[in-house]
Amino acid sequence: MNTGEAPTRDVVVIGASYGGVEALRKLAAELPADLPATVLVVQHTSEESPAVLADLLGARGGLRAVKARDGMPLERGMIVVAPPGRHMLLTEEGIRVVFGPRENRTRPAIDPLFRTAAVHYNTRAIGVVLTGLLGDGAVGLFAIARCGGVAVVQDPAEAVAADMPRRALELVPNARKLPLGELAAVISELTRQPAPPPPPIPEALRIEVSITERIMNTQEPAELLGKPSDFTCPECRGTIRVVDDDGMQRFRCRVGHAYSADAFVAAKEQSLEESLWVALQTLQERGQMLTQLAREERARERHDTADSFDTRAREVHRHARRLLELLQELAEPTARSP
């Protein structure tokens, strides 16, 4: 998107999760038709969801809304929506739509879009975090702010889910905190401002974006960020590396699964629950088999052997009941996922 004019803040990246569809519809309805910027949207969604968000946003406002396609150029006056099951990245040439490892347990994820916007468009970028659970988008918004872009956050007090806006404000306390009804006017005003000269881009961030782009294009990364840890990736079981961003810890594995601290804990909890359900199934099957063997031995009048099988079956069923109680206890805290 090179018009030959002095650069302005003409790249708007927006991330949303739980409650985001309605928030995005309201925002799109209020953005002016002559907005001199491209608006790129990541809304957390299941990979099987129908790709209808672009139609919903285009029907509400004056901007044309389309589903992102790999290789698209940036075009002012357009909303571009990441498709389900694919990450959307920005390069100097335009938009990439790629299948890559999940970040913060989701694909599309917000942070990859924000990071690549920060490195490639720095002061031209405006990052906006809307309603959502957990913390996707916070690290990406931090990257945009570090690279001279503008950080905007929906007021957590009015968000359907306050987690994402609150985490973003914790990392970027100087971000503009605004109610949803004021966002469109502020975004419009910002996009008409000249983009100042960019500050130096942090080398670690530049490396991370390079790794992201290579991993998501199925190329082996030349470098690995962070330090090895004793943890394993909840998704691929590879070694987790700890990345320290000015005292804030993040987690990445070799193949590219990435987590904020809270997303890593949530992923580990989910992995634990899945393992416990497998263990419960195994115990129940074992108990059923022992009961069947006892019945067969008793039919052959081998009562001592049958009693032994019955005793073992009762012990296994007791362990299964205890495991089920543990699963119920683990489910008692409010389970939240993006």
CA distance 175 to 181: 17
Tokens read off for 234 = 């909840």
Of 141, 103, 42, 47, nearest to 267 by C-alpha is 103
Question: What are the φ and ψ backbone dihedral angles of 124, each rounded to 5 degrees?
Answer: -80, -10
Q: What share of the chain is helix, strand, coil (3-state, %, to 5)?
A: 45, 20, 35
Spell out the residues 6+ positions from residue 91 whose beta carbon is closer than 8 angstroms to its own.
116, 120, 213
Spell out the residues 6+ positions from residue 158 whose beta carbon is closer than 8 angstroms to its own.
179, 180
Tokens read off for 241 = 């590396």
Question: With contact defined as beta carbons under 8 Å apart, do 18 and 133 qualify?
Answer: yes
Burial of 300 per CB tally in 10 Å (0-12, 13-18, 19+): exposed
Rg (CA), the chain: 25
| Residues classed as catalytic | 17, 44, 136
Kind and range of the H or E element at 66?
strand 64-67
Tokens read off for 338 = 């993006």
